[in-house]
Amino acid sequence: MIETIKKLLGIGPKVDLGEVIATGGVIVDVRTPGEFAGGHLKNSINIPLQVLPSQIAKLKKDKPVITCCASGMRSASARAMLKAQGYTAYNGGSWYNLKRYER
């Protein structure tokens, strides 16, 4: 049951996120600017979920995108938006869990 929910939300790595990051994947943190200022991954960019539709053109379709937020819920929504627009996108879940991939 939990695995089914994770698949529906796009939570959990189906690929090695560390490899995606190492090969040029872009990390998009979809939290609010205030949350982002409180801590974030280096080299991540902040595009809050509520403005992602109007800012999506800032992202290049030739690079995979890993979305993150506080828990994984907003990043799941962002991943769905990006996939619908033709991006290769992965839900990285919590930004803090992605810290292990920082270099």
69 in catalytic set? yes
d(CA 41, CA 6): 23
d(CA 88, CA 7): 16
Catalytic residue among 49, 52, 56, 69: 69
3-state secondary structure of 46: strand
- What is the chain's alpha carbon radius of gyration, rounded to the nearest angstrom? 12
Comparing CA positions, the residue from 95, 88, 91 lying closest to residue 42 is 95
Q: Which residues are catalytic?
A: 69
